[in-house]
C-alpha cells in the first residue's frame, strides 16, 4: 500500500468512535521503518481558526487498516 492510499482513509478511534482526521505525514526511524503517522485533526476550531492541530499516532496503536478507514487505539 502506498502513502497516497493511506492519506485517503479516515482515522477512527476505537475507544471513542471519533473521526480523528487524515494522515498528512509519517515519521521514520534511522533504519527507514515507519514509527508513527501524523494526522491533521478535524474539528470546529481547526476549521474556523485554521489551527495547526496535529496528532502523532504510533504504529503500534494502529488496530486495523480497512478499505475506507484506519482504526486506532487512542
What pTM, to 2 d.p., does this model score? 0.82
CATH code assigned at 63: 2.30.30.240
Q: Report the pLDDT value the prediction gives residue 61, as an integer from 0 to 100.
A: 97
pLDDT at 53: 82
The CA distance from 69 to 41, in Å, is: 15
- In 3D, which of 24, 27, 25, 20 has the Cα closest to residue 63? 20
- Domain range for 61 is 3-72
Q: How many domains does the chain have?
A: 1
Q: Which three cell numbers stand for residue 10?
A: 479516515
- Give the closest residue to 54 by CA, choosing from 70, 37, 29: 37
Question: For residue 59, what pLDDT is reported?
Answer: 96
pLDDT tens-place string over residues 18-68: 999 999 999 999 999 999 999 987 665 455 555 568 899 999 999 999 999
Amino acid at each position: 500500500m502506498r502513502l497516497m492510499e493511506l492519506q485517503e482513509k479516515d482515522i477512527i478511534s476505537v475507544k471513542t468512535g471519533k473521526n480523528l482526521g487524515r494522515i498528512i505525514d509519517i515519521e521514520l526511524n534511522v533504519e527507514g521503518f515507519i514509527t508513527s503517522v501524523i494526522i491533521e485533526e478535524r474539528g470546529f476550531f481547526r476549521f474556523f481558526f485554521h489551527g495547526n492541530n496535529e496528532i502523532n499516532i504510533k504504529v503500534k496503536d494502529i488496530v486495523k487498516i480497512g478499505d475506507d478507514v484506519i482504526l486506532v487505539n487512542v
